[in-house]
């Protein structure tokens, strides 16, 4: 029997103790779920890729090891090669595995942008992601010193590649529609992300 979302959650909690890393994976999962619904794709598959992709970051905290060593661990645990490949494809410059399936492109597009959205929520007085509007994220995007670790060019290129891969299903879509979808998806799980005002 192939592994799925619950198996992914278990392995995340086994290897990730830092709650902020878990929240990042939950945020990416939320974006992936939203896209699976929009595109008529397999929601569990997309959610599994989202929650699983950084499961090994805490035990392999360098790009020399992540996600290559994580992929080895997934194979040892009986994960199918397609999911392993999707995990590897979210860092092609390090793994040599380029995105091929639509889920691969979706994962790469949803990954880093969640960091910018989270940072935007945390600088609001309310610290509530539900108060964040797209125009706020746009403003922070332009400020390169804000959340400087978010590679804007990489995000834009990943989104462009995803839109191209999706074809007619995302015709007319652009970077800001993508960001808005990710923002709304994350707003839907504000409590799980700890971005519901409790930190204010």
Q: Does residue 55 have a cis bond before it (omega within 30 degrees)?
A: no
- Which pTM was predicted? 0.96
How do residues 81-109 score in pLDDT, each as one tens digit?
999 999 999 999 889 999 999 999 999 99
Contact criterion met (CB below 8 Å) for 45 and 73? no
pLDDT in the model for residue 167: 97
pLDDT in the model for residue 166: 98
pLDDT in the model for residue 2: 76
174 token code pair: 């652009």
Contact criterion met (CB below 8 Å) for 114 and 28? yes
pLDDT in the model for residue 93: 87
Positions of the chain with pLDDT lower than 50, given as ranges: none
- The topology (CATH level 3) of 5-187 is Hypothetical protein af1432 (1.10.3210)
């Amino acid at each position: 029997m192939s592994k799925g979302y619950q198996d992914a959650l278990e392995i995340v909690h086994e290897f990730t103790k830092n709650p902020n890393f878990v929240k990042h994976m939950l945020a990416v999962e939320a974006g992936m779920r939203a896209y699976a619904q929009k595109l008529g794709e397999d929601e569990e598959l997309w959610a599994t890729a989202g929650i699983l992709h950084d499961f090994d970051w805490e035990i392999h905290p360098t790009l020399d090891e992540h996600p290559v060593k994580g992929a080895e661990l997934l194979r040892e645990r009986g994960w199918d090669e397609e999911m392993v490949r999707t995990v590897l494809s979210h860092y092609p410059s390090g793994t040599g595995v380029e995105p091929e399936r639509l889920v691969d492109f979706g994962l790469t597009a949803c990954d880093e942008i969640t960091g910018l959205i989270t940072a935007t929520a945390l600088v609001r007085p309310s610290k509530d992601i539900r108060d964040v509007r797209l125009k706020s994220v746009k403003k922070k995007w332009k400020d390169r010193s804000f959340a400087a670790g978010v590679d804007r060019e990489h995000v834009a290129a990943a989104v462009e590649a995803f839109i191209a891969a999706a074809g007619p299903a995302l015709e007319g879509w652009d970077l800001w529609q993508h960001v808005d979808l990710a923002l709304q998806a994350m707003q839907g799980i504000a409590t799980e992300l700890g971005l519901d005002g409790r930190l204010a």
